[in-house]
Amino acid sequence: MIKAILIFNNHGKPRLIRFYQYFAEDMQQQIIRETFHLVSKRDDNVCNFLEGGSLIGGSDYKLIYRHYATLYFVFCVDSSESELGILDLIQVSTIYIFMTVFVETLDKCFENVCELDLIFHMDKVHYILQEVVMGGMVLETNMNEIVAQVELQNRMEKSEGGLSAAPARAVSAVKNMNLPEIPRNINIGDINIKVPNLSPF
Amino acid sequence: MALKIVKGSIDRMFDKNLQDLVRGIRNHKEDEAKYISTCIDEIKQELKQDNIAVKANAVCKLTYLQMLGYDVSWAAFNIVEVMSSSKFTYKRIGYLAASQCFHEGTDVIMLTTNQIRKDLSSPNQYDTGVALTGLSCFVTPDLARDLANDIMTLMSHTKPFIRKKAVLIMYKVFLKYPESLRPAFPRLKEKLEDPDPGVQSAAVNVICELARRNPKNYLSLAPLFFKLMTSSTNNWVLIKIIKLFGALTPLEPRLGKKLIEPLTNLIHSTSAMSLLYECVNTVIAVLISLSSGMPNHSASIQLCVQKLRILIEDSDQNLKYLGLLAMSKILKTHPKSVQSHKDLILQCLDDKDESIRLRALDLLYGMVSKKNLMEIVKKLMVHVDKAEGTTYRDELLTKIIDICSQSNYQYITNFEWYISILVELTRLEGTRHGHLIASQMLDVAIRVKAIRGFAVLQMATLLDNAHMLTGNTQRNGICEVLYAAAWICGEFSDHLEDPLQTLEAMLRPKVATLPGHIQAVYIQNAAKLFATVLRAQEGVPDSQKAQETSQLLIDRLPLFVQSANLEVQERASCVLQLVKYIQKLQQKEVAVAEEVSALFAGELNPVAPKAQKKVPIPEGLDLDAWINEPPSESESEDEKPRAVFSQEEPRHTRPRHTEVDEKELARRREARKQEQANNPFYIKASPSSQKVYPEVPGVEHIPVVQIDLSVPLKVPGMPMSDQYLKMEEERRQKEKEEKKKKEKKKKKEKRGRGRKHESGPESEEDITPAHTVDIVTEEMPENALPSDDDDKDPNDPHKALDIDLDNLVVGASRRPLADSEKLPVRTHRPTDILKSPVEGAELESVSQEPKKKSKKDKKEKKKDKERKKSKEEKKKKKHKQEGDDELEEASEEPVQAGENPVAAALPATAPAEGFNLDFWLSNVPVPSNKQEATVPVLPPALDAAQVSEPEEHKDMEPEETKFSKHKKKKQKKEKEDKKKKKRHHRHHSDEGGDESVQNGTVEEEEPLPPMSNYCLLAENSYIKMVYDIQGNLQDGSQVVVSVIFENKSTSFLKSMEFNVLDSLNSKLQRPDGAGPHDGLSVPFQLPPGVSNEARFVFSVQSIVMPQKLKGTLTFIVKSEESSTHEKLDFKLHFTCTSYLITTPCYSDAYAKLLESGDLKSSSVRLEGVSMSFHHLLARICFHHHFSVVERIDSCASLYSRSIQGHHVCLLVKTADQTVSIDAKCDEPSLLGNVLDEIKQTFSMC
């Protein structure tokens, strides 16, 4: 079971939090802080497993994380999930088995995902996540299936919007035009680079 | 209208949307909180508007704020509003918000039940999907109960997108509402073979989660999973299954045997590291479960260890980590094979990654031996010095102590070394584990008598240098060791070189800065020391010295009398008064030493940690009963002081000490009362008040250790423990040499052979401990209870899911269940919701004419096309029932009890999966394995299911009817129209057919007689054989004959050989290489009076006709004087029934089957059958391997399948002792034979 999925940036700002076990808001923030604290002080070339923080669960839980450019993806899991399997779920590309579902799906849905996408479209990221993990269990590992479902749902949303949504869309398009003070090129750098040391996969 | 909408949305475009909010927050970095609070105000305004789009937008923003840590629970109701929007866009926003912030305590959740139900049944699959996803996050027990049925329906949805979600969410439902597990399980199992891989993997996922907690209940699924494992290509699924097998193998060693080959193949072949890792993990589990038995498993272990070594040596830190993790599992059972990789693991200790170092530390635990302990600990001590960061250092510290103290200090050969290691550890900066070191010191000093002298000296030094430990206030944790030091010095003060100096050290003013509980120990032990000093000084003519000592105490103690700590204060003033009194006596030249020492006399024994728990409660003592009247609640002030007290001294009440003390106290309460009349110590708090008298036996035997006493606390450049390391090495060297000498001598005597010993490494046993250590065993109360029923968390939600599912899936073991093993049956099943409670109620209320009336009712219902009406009717009934419930509460229990016997029949109706599993497990090498004992019958423990709750189904009822209405439209068929309607009526709930027998009538209350399928094969004066034939599901051409041999004689039967004359159609399967006429030897011998079972596999070609095979059993009868060769002929009768396999069938599948028209029909009538209908059904089911698909009153449909896939359907009706059976089957001759056999069964009784 996955207990929580956290995405935060290099400064510990949450970009997406998804708890599969109830914690009050302040507790959630505390967990994020603690997790960030644990994860951020680790070098990039050490392993991606951490014995759980004291806040979620006990020794049965592990933090599995991955660091992409500006973002940390952290899965808090208990022992029933295969450690490497979950990592594949977060991580970019494996040659053989599971597609690196989540991030790669994000990448597909947002066309070169970057932190800004996550910042401004938290809801959409949630919808994508919902197709990957449900209630703490892995729902689908086939990326094409996920992307297809996400797109179908988006299309449905658009068709529902129809005429009445047009003005709002126009306005938001205008708003977005003068948007980025921040350049869009802070792409998650190595997102499409195969992780070299995982080549045994 | 359209204009209004457009206008609304134009308004809307000036509202902030999510992006604007985010942008705004980013632009207000300095006053973020203020900005957000204005935003929240805006959101509150927006939520007040009618326009759902505006509301949704507001809720969406709230979701974002929730992520930032703002509590948005106040908007819960608005979220529900948005959830109930008809538009997918808004619904999705609502559900997302709900899933982020709803939880069990959210009260509006109650309002959502109907909305969610509506969404679940929405024609738009995405509405359903969104509802499922949301529900998975906030499902509560109530929601789970109310919606379980709807979700179960969705498990057979046409869209895999919905199916997989529904399957997955069932796990959450099970957790919240365990009662749903049994009814849902068959369908869940069905989904394991779903054509869609996503659904399949979801089902695997759920079952794996369930099985991880309660593996034994899922053992019967092993064959299915095995099939999946060998066929699946989805590595995710594979990993899950392999993990599951890892959990199952400890329960069934044979499973492991079967698994090991495919797993090793996978290990060899797979290139996916994650899969490899899981395979290795499971192989390890298998090997653990097989720890005996398999002769060649060392090869597999070697393979695993090899592969793991590759992982560990990999440059990828992740693989290294996992390799170490898996290694530690092997370590538990096969320490030897891991020990050979010690180099690698020690190397990992130097890794820069802390996670890896910690894993390596775990491994070290198992690698130590007497030989290398000192060396390893030395290495760790180096790490301790080097380590930065207290967490890692603390971890090291605990590991060192763990390693040394494991299995009762098994590996420590030199306790002086260990004490000095402990002393060295006290030098750690800022460790949290001072108390751990302290308890080790105490433990060693108390339990290893021989070391006391040395320990006391070390502790005295420690006390002397206490300022070094306490100098820094931050090093608080470490001053715990002073607690131990003071206690040891006081308790074993006889060993002190200079007790006076220690006494002085314990009374320094600086001591007053220590934590209270330590001061208290100081004072208590100062008193003990004082006694020792007095005794030493009294013999000396110069009495002045003794008086000086008293004066010292009198001078120093007042400081402690003023202590803020109550405990310290109290003890100090007691001791002070005592000393003053002694001083008075001394001035009168009275010898007091003896009496003062007597205050602390007595031997201490360690008490086992669990001893207290194991003290049996004396008869007649009720611990829960109040001794006095319970205090009124207002007396809360009473409790406060108590809490303060216990908080003050958390460490102090470490159980061992208190227990020691309590035990001692009880023993010498009398003596003490007299001596300590003026010394009202806190009993619990004083860690010890006895002192070892010199005359205690055993003390003389303590070897006196010659140690340079001037060993300072710190030797510059060279830690003290190293000296011991060296000393120890030298000692061992010496011993070795001595041995060599001896050996040489031997060599001289006997030439040769000695050489190997000489050059080879010394073995463990060769190392003799430096001093004989008598580790005092821990005391236990005399009549301690042996059970170890300690550590189970009663709050574990998974406990409730410990439900036996086997009998549900297929029925139980091959033996009929005895009355005592009756299975309780859930009465809440949706099936019964519609029927049994209602009928039951009617039965009770209308008493005499139950059947007719309910039948009529049903007919009416069916004819009635307007469902509303029937709904009303049902509601009426419901009311009625409620009334009845109240009225007949008394009669309710018997009814419930009466349902059990029905249940008892159920297992018998189906052939056991337990058996199938057994067969599956044993059929690998057929002839060699057949003697295997039957799988232990899984205990039918279904506590959870036992609960019957009529109430809640009432909510579900209307819903249920809606569904059935929906379904009903499709179906029309004349002959069985009535029946079918009924069936669809409860279609959704109707799983494993056998359950539907439950709707009880009164006659069912009588229990079923035990039934057995075993019939006599042959018998003579020596031996009796009974047999049973079962089809093999896996192989359509095989049947298994189980024969029970019973030795009736008083002699020993051996060399039994079983042979059958094969026919063209049926052949006994013989091992490869055996001729067609060779017999099979029965793989056991029979002592007198013993029976055992063997299995023989036959292959058959045609199964439509019954047949008989002639056979012979030959055996040797061995009595004391002689042995004779005997022989017994028999005829094996293969009935057509024995080719049938109980297969559950869903009623809709059954209906389709009947509609298909491929089946030929036939019928038979049985006259004068007097047994009750359910009895009759049970008989047919049990003896002829049918399962009940559905049963209505005195009419039931049954189903079975032959091993070659023929379907056999029966419709059994009964009226006035006449039973008519209409049957359909795609093979008429098979059907005819089966019917004949059924007829015969009933003609016999």
Residue B955: is its pLDDT beyond 50?
no
Per-residue pLDDT band at B1209 (split at 50, 70, 90): confident
Neighbours of B706 (CB within 10 A): 6
Q: Which residues in chain A have Cβ-Cβ distances shorter than 8 Å to B206?
A: 137
- Distance between A178 CA and the closest CA of chain B, angstroms: 12
Question: Strand, helix or coil at B77?
Answer: helix
Give me the residue from B69, B126, B133 closest to A26, CB to CB.
B69
What phi and psi, each to the nearest 5 degrees, are found at residue A15? -110, -25
Inspect the interface and report whether the beta carbons of A120 and B315 lie closer than 8 Å.
no
Inspect the interface and report whether the beta carbons of A167 and B6 lie closer than 8 Å.
yes
Mean of the pLDDT values across residues B687-697?
40
Question: Strand, helix or coil at B1214?
Answer: strand
Query: How many contiguous H segments (helices) and E segments (strands) does chain B have?
Result: 53, 15
Residue B1200: is its pLDDT beyond 50?
yes
Give me the residue from B96, B169, B235 closest to A97, CB to CB.
B235
Comparing B1154 with B844, the larger pLDDT belongs to B1154
Residue B399: is its pLDDT beyond 80?
yes
Inspect the interface and report whether the beta carbons of B234 and A141 lie closer than 8 Å.
yes
- Distance between B136 CA and the closest CA of chain A, angstroms: 5
Contacts of B877 (CB under 8 A, 6+ apart): B838, B841, B842
Closest C-alpha to B55, from B23, B33, B87: B87
Mean of the pLDDT values across residues B384-398?
78
A54: contact with B, CB 8 A cutoff: no
Give the burial class of A163: count Cβ atoms within 10 A of its Cβ; 0-12 exposed, 13-18 middle, 19 or more buried.
exposed
Highest mean pLDDT among B727-731, B937-941, B961-965, B1076-1080: B1076-1080
Inspect the interface and report whether the beta carbons of A200 and B206 lie closer than 8 Å.
no
Residue B824: is its pLDDT beyond 60?
no
A138: contact with B, CB 8 A cutoff: yes
Mutate to test the interface with A, among B4, B318, B357 (most CBs of A within 10 A): B318
Q: What is the pLDDT of residue B782?
A: 56
Contact between B686 and B524 under an 8 Å Cβ cutoff? The reply is yes
Nearest CA in chain B to A154: B89
Tokens of B834: 């519609």
Inspect the interface and report whether the beta carbons of A82 and B243 lie closer than 8 Å.
yes
Give me the residue from A47, A119, A157 closest to B317, CB to CB.
A47
Inspect the interface and report whether the beta carbons of B239 and A82 lie closer than 8 Å.
yes
Question: Strand, helix or coil at A65?
Answer: strand
Mutate to test the interface with B, among A39, A47, A67, A155 (most CBs of B within 10 A): A47
Query: Tens of pLDDT along B11-48?
Result: 555 567 888 888 888 888 888 889 989 989 989 988 88
Q: From CA B905, how far away is CA B23, in angstroms rounded?
A: 69
What proportion of chain B, given as a percentage, has pLDDT over 90? 3
Query: Tens of pLDDT along B215-246?
Result: 888 888 888 888 888 887 777 778 888 878 87
A82: contact with B, CB 8 A cutoff: yes
Inspect the interface and report whether the beta carbons of B88 and A160 lie closer than 8 Å.
yes
Inspect the interface and report whether the beta carbons of A141 and B320 lie closer than 8 Å.
no
A177: contact with B, CB 8 A cutoff: no
Inspect the interface and report whether the beta carbons of A123 and B352 lie closer than 8 Å.
no
Contacts of A177 (CB under 8 A, 6+ apart): none
What phi and psi, each to the nearest 5 degrees, are found at residue B597? -60, -35
Per-residue pLDDT band at B1214 (split at 50, 70, 90): confident
Choose the weakest-confidence range: A20-29, B345-354, B940-949, B1031-1040. Answer: B940-949
Query: Tens of pLDDT along A112-164?
Result: 777 888 888 888 888 888 888 888 888 887 778 888 888 888 888 888 766 55
Per-residue pLDDT band at B95 (split at 50, 70, 90): very high
Inspect the interface and report whether the beta carbons of A153 and B92 lie closer than 8 Å.
yes
DSSP character string of B1060-1125: E---SSEEE---TT--TTPPEEPS--B-TT-EEEEEEEEEES--SS-EEEEEEEEEEEE-SS-EEE
Q: What is the pLDDT of residue B918?
A: 61
Give me the residue from A25, A137, A156 closest to B70, CB to CB.
A25
Beta bridge partners of B264: none
Q: Which residues in chain A have Cβ-Cβ distances shorter than 8 Å to B201?
A: 138, 141
Inspect the interface and report whether the beta carbons of B132 and A49 lie closer than 8 Å.
no
Q: From CA A145, how far away is CA A149, in angstroms rounded?
A: 6
Q: What is the pLDDT of residue A100?
A: 56
Give me the residue from A43, A98, A157 closest to B89, CB to CB.
A157
Closest C-alpha to B415, from B769, B727, B723: B769
Per-residue pLDDT band at B849 (split at 50, 70, 90): very low
Residues in chain B: 1245
Q: SS3 sequence, A15-36? A: EEEEECCCCCHHHHHHHHHHHH
Neighbours of B346 (CB within 10 A): 17
A51: contact with B, CB 8 A cutoff: yes
Residue B964: is its pLDDT beyond 70?
no
Q: From CA A123, how far away is CA A145, in angstroms rounded?
A: 20
Mean of the pLDDT values across residues B923-945?
39
- Distance between A56 CA and the closest CA of chain B, angstroms: 16
Query: Tens of pLDDT along B757-801?
Result: 444 344 444 455 555 455 555 555 555 544 444 444 555 566 666
Cα torsion B400, B402, B408, B410: sign? negative
Residue B674: is its pLDDT beyond 70?
no
Torsion angle in degrees (nearest 10) through CA of B176, B180, B186, B192: -20
Query: Tens of pLDDT along B280-313?
Result: 877 877 777 665 555 556 777 788 888 888 878 8
Contact between A120 and B26 under an 8 Å Cβ cutoff? The reply is no
Q: From CA B455, how far away is CA B453, in angstroms rounded?
A: 5
Helix/strand/coil percentages in chain B, nearest 5 = 60, 10, 30
Angle subtended by helix axes B516-538 and B480-491, to nearest 10 = 20
Angle subtended by helix axes B434-447 and B415-425, to nearest 10 = 160
**What average pLDDT does chain B have?**
71
Inspect the interface and report whether the beta carbons of A45 and B132 lie closer than 8 Å.
no
Tokens of B488: 């040891």
Residues in chain A: 201
CB under 8 Å, gap of 24 or more: what pairs does B381-385 form? Answer: B381/B421, B381/B424, B381/B719, B381/B721, B383/B349, B384/B425, B384/B428
Q: What is the pLDDT of residue B705?
A: 42
Q: What is the pLDDT of residue B97?
A: 92
Q: What is the pLDDT of residue B167?
A: 92
Q: Which residues in chain A have Cβ-Cβ distances shorter than 8 Å to B104?
A: 22
CB environment A122-146: b (16+ within 10 A), e (fewer):
bbbbbbbbbbbbbbbbbbbbbbebb
Residue B53: is its pLDDT beyond 80?
yes
Between the alpha carbon of residue B150 and those of residues B119, B146, B977, B1171, the distances in Å are 10, 8, 26, 39
Q: What is the pLDDT of residue B804?
A: 63
Give me the residue from A119, A164, A170 closest to B6, CB to CB.
A164
Choose the weakest-confidence range: A138-152, B683-697, B1050-1064. Answer: B683-697
Q: What is the pLDDT of residue B664?
A: 52
Give me the residue from A51, A82, A139 closest to B278, CB to CB.
A82
Inspect the interface and report whether the beta carbons of B355 and A83 lie closer than 8 Å.
no
Q: Which residue type does B591 have?
A: A
Mean of the pLDDT values across residues B982-987?
44
Nearest CA in chain A to B315: A197
Closest C-alpha to B355, from B319, B406, B330, B385: B319
- Distance between A142 CA and the closest CA of chain B, angstroms: 8
Choose the weakest-confidence range: B2-11, B140-149, B547-556, B1028-1037. Answer: B2-11
DSSP character string of B801-828: G----HHHHT---SSPPPGGGPPP--S-
* CA of residue B1222 relative to chain centroid, distance: 48
Mean of the pLDDT values across residues B1050-1079?
80
Nearest CA in chain A to B1: A164
A186: contact with B, CB 8 A cutoff: no
Choose the weakest-confidence range: B201-215, B452-466, B714-728. Answer: B714-728
Inspect the interface and report whether the beta carbons of B353 and A47 lie closer than 8 Å.
yes
Q: From CA A104, how far away is CA A90, in angstroms rounded?
A: 8
Q: From CA B921, how far away is CA B939, in angstroms rounded?
A: 19
A87: contact with B, CB 8 A cutoff: yes
A173: contact with B, CB 8 A cutoff: no
Q: What is the pLDDT of residue B4?
A: 55
Query: Tens of pLDDT along B255-281?
Result: 777 887 888 888 887 777 777 777 887
Neighbours of B369 (CB within 10 A): 15
Residue B937: is its pLDDT beyond 50?
no
Question: Strand, helix or coil at B74?
Answer: helix
Residue B997: is its pLDDT beyond 80?
no
Inspect the interface and report whether the beta carbons of B355 and A16 lie closer than 8 Å.
no
Choose the weakest-confidence range: B146-160, B223-237, B821-835. Answer: B821-835
Residue A195: is its pLDDT beyond 80?
no
- Distance between B71 CA and the closest CA of chain A, angstroms: 6
Residue corresponding to tokens 């399957």: B167
A135: contact with B, CB 8 A cutoff: yes
Nearest CA in chain A to B310: A200
Give the burial class of B11: count Cβ atoms within 10 A of its Cβ; 0-12 exposed, 13-18 middle, 19 or more buried.
middle
Residue corresponding to tokens 């059924």: B1238
Give me the residue from B168, B197, B322 closest to A83, CB to CB.
B322
Contacts of B795 (CB under 8 A, 6+ apart): none
Q: What is the pLDDT of residue B96?
A: 92
- Distance between B89 CA and the closest CA of chain A, angstroms: 5
Nearest CA in chain B to A85: B274
Query: Tens of pLDDT along B1083-1121?
Result: 788 888 778 888 888 888 888 888 888 888 888 888 777
Choose the weakest-confidence range: A36-45, A122-131, B713-722. Answer: B713-722
Choose the weakest-confidence range: A63-67, B469-473, B619-623. Answer: B469-473
What proportion of chain B, given as a percentage, has pLDDT over 70? 65
Q: What is the pLDDT of residue B94?
A: 92
Inspect the interface and report whether the beta carbons of A138 and B18 lie closer than 8 Å.
no
* A to B CB pairs, distance under 8 Å: 198
Q: Which residues in chain B have Cβ-Cβ distances shorter than 8 Å to A18?
A: 100
Mutate to test the interface with B, among A62, A82, A90, A115 (most CBs of B within 10 A): A82
A119: contact with B, CB 8 A cutoff: yes
Closest C-alpha to A138, from A104, A188, A88, A92: A88
Q: Which residues in chain A have Cβ-Cβ distances shorter than 8 Å to B274?
A: 82-85, 87-88, 97, 201
Inspect the interface and report whether the beta carbons of A149 and B161 lie closer than 8 Å.
yes
Q: What is the pLDDT of residue B305?
A: 83
Tokens of B399: 């590991």
Give me the residue from A28, A156, A198 closest to B88, CB to CB.
A156
Half-sphere exposure of B1054 toward its Cβ, with a 13 Å CA cutoff? 7
Q: Which residue type does B1028 have?
A: D
Q: What is the pLDDT of residue B169?
A: 92
DSSP character string of B478-502: GGHHHHHHHHHHHHTGGG-S-HHHH
Between the alpha carbon of residue B1198 and those of residues A34, B136, B246, B809, B1214, the distances in Å are 61, 37, 38, 16, 14
Q: What is the pLDDT of residue B1047?
A: 85
